Amino acid sequence: MNTSHHRWLLEQLPQWERDGLLTADAARTLRERHVVDESQPGLAQIVMGSLGALLIGTGLISVIGYNWDDFSRPVRLLFAFLPLLTTQIVSFRVLQRDDAAAAWVRETAALLQALATGACIALVSQIYNLGGEWPEFLFWWMLLSLPLVWVLRSHAVAIFYLVGIAVWSLDQGYGKPWHDSPLIYPLLLLGLLPYWPGWPPKTQLSLSVRWVMTISAILGLCSAAVFVSARSEGYYSHRDETFIWLWTLIGAGLTLFPLSRAGVAESTGRKPQVVLGSLWLLGYGIAATFQDVSDDILQGAAYALKLPWCWGLLAVLALFVILACLRRRWAVLAIASIALLPLVAIPFTQDPGEHSALLSWLVTLHLSLIGITLIVLEFAGRRGAPRLGAALLCLLIIARMFESELSLLAKGLAFIVIGVAFLAFNLFMSRLHRQKNPPVS
């Protein structure tokens, strides 16, 4: 349950008490159990405060962009530093008031200061005709804004920082030294750690920050994978098949990202890293059932294993696997293990460049087992996902049919049969669900 659910429940309690649905004791217990932390800003507060700050900040940057060259250099420098000083004073006042400051005021002050910092650097580089491309500017801007996330605990600046470092990573192409490349993205992401005081974290991240953080991590880490896959043979190009497998390892890492017991118990919708990681892994799995694709993956994995970055990633993944085993997260472990199947196939393939059906069959078998397990678990009285299992089996059969050399007529008939079977299963599951949970009349 998120804050809005708790708040809704608390609002209903007086009416339920009046209607005799709840005793006073039961209502008190519910109030104690579903406390709303008012110090955490609501989404509307963040959005309104951030929008105001964004408008002022972008307005400031646009005014600077006009270039007031009628004024002398010192006067223009004063224009650069005055907004920065003003926003710093506002943030200091907010810090002094500590918990007494409203959440939206804290958010607005932090975002305004971050934008004023960017405007100041932009104006100074404009006045002195400094060169440098915008990603370089963005990098320093993000670094100077990061401490505001820690001290003012601003969600808006955290989101701004996560977007900024992801955009920076995406733009750092090949030919750069490692310290100016997406390889430092993990360090930049770790910079947000003081945002959560204590371990395990005392406060939960809002859903919006979780989604932005997951997407930022995907973009940043995938950029690093592309960067390490570059080959320089007089000109730069990439080994596509290598970074695709590295992306899959990243997907597995995200899916298995360690969670506390409360985190594991949360619904999947509140775990964007599991949703996006699993989607990639299942898509990759279906694609790997095609023999040409699995050949490319084997080649890519064989080359990737020569890269130290890949071994670092595998070491992190091994740690995550151990922690996931301790938490008994079998479902995500089953999905994430798809990424490691090339490691099983490589020792049995003499030359990864050769045609080998082994990986294709391994993935097909693995996905089939996942699909069947998801269905069987439900009927064994455990928590399963029968519809997802059936959909996975359907997709798998469709993919196999595409690669088969059957006639169009046979394929068409097979698709019709699969479609009918899928619909029948869906109908059967709906009836079963109704039998287990009869409607309240």
Partner 1 sequence: MKTLPLILFGIAALGQWAAPLSQIWTHEQTLTQGTLIKLKCSAPDPYDPLRGRYLAVRPAQQEVNVSEDMKLKQGMQVFATLTTGEDGFATITSLSRTPPASGDYIRVRTRYAYESKATIEWPFERFYINEKLAPEADEWFAENIRTDKGITAEVRVLKGRAVLADLSLDGKSFREILKERVK
Minimum gap (Å) between residue 303 Cβ and partner 1? 23
CA–CA separation, 14 and 167 (whole Å): 49
List of residues 6+ apart from 364 with CB closer than 8 A: 289, 396, 400
User: Under the criterion CB under 8 A, does residue 167 sit at the interface with partner 1?
Assistant: no
Minimum gap (Å) between residue 243 Cβ and partner 1? 22
Residue 408 identity:
L
Q: Which of 81, 196, 303, 422 binds partner 1 (CB under 8 A)?
A: 81
CA–CA separation, 410 and 143 (whole Å): 60
User: Under the criterion CB under 8 A, does residue 130 sit at the interface with partner 1?
Assistant: yes
Minimum gap (Å) between residue 87 Cβ and partner 1? 9
Count residues contacting partner 1 (CB under 8 A)?
Answer: 45
What is the separation, in whole angstroms, between the first and last Cα of the chain? 27
Considering only 67-75, 165-173, 266-274, 353-361, which stretch makes contact with partner 1 by CB under 8 A? 67-75
Minimum gap (Å) between residue 113 Cβ and partner 1? 8
Minimum gap (Å) between residue 188 Cβ and partner 1? 16
CA–CA separation, 159 and 345 (whole Å): 41
CA angle 129, 133, 135 (to 5 degrees): 135
Q: Which of 54, 102, 136, 150 binds partner 1 (CB under 8 A)?
A: 150
Q: Which of 22, 53, 80, 222 binds partner 1 (CB under 8 A)?
A: 80
The nearer residue to partner 1, 27 or 121, going by C-beta atoms, is 121
Q: Which of 22, 53, 64, 252 binds partner 1 (CB under 8 A)?
A: 64
The nearer residue to partner 1, 175 or 412, going by C-beta atoms, is 175
User: Under the criterion CB under 8 A, does residue 148 sit at the interface with partner 1?
Assistant: yes
User: Under the criterion CB under 8 A, does residue 59 sit at the interface with partner 1?
Assistant: no
User: Under the criterion CB under 8 A, does residue 163 sit at the interface with partner 1?
Assistant: no
Cα 290 to Cα 8, 296, 382, distances in angstroms: 49, 10, 33
User: Under the criterion CB under 8 A, does residue 20 sit at the interface with partner 1?
Assistant: no
User: Under the criterion CB under 8 A, does residue 88 sit at the interface with partner 1?
Assistant: yes
The nearer residue to partner 1, 16 or 174, going by C-beta atoms, is 174
The nearer residue to partner 1, 95 or 417, going by C-beta atoms, is 95
User: Under the criterion CB under 8 A, does residue 361 sit at the interface with partner 1?
Assistant: no
User: Under the criterion CB under 8 A, does residue 175 sit at the interface with partner 1?
Assistant: yes
Residues that bind partner 1 (CB under 8 A): 61, 64-70, 77, 80-81, 84, 88, 91-92, 95-96, 98, 113, 117-118, 120-131, 134, 137, 140, 144, 147-148, 150-152, 175-177
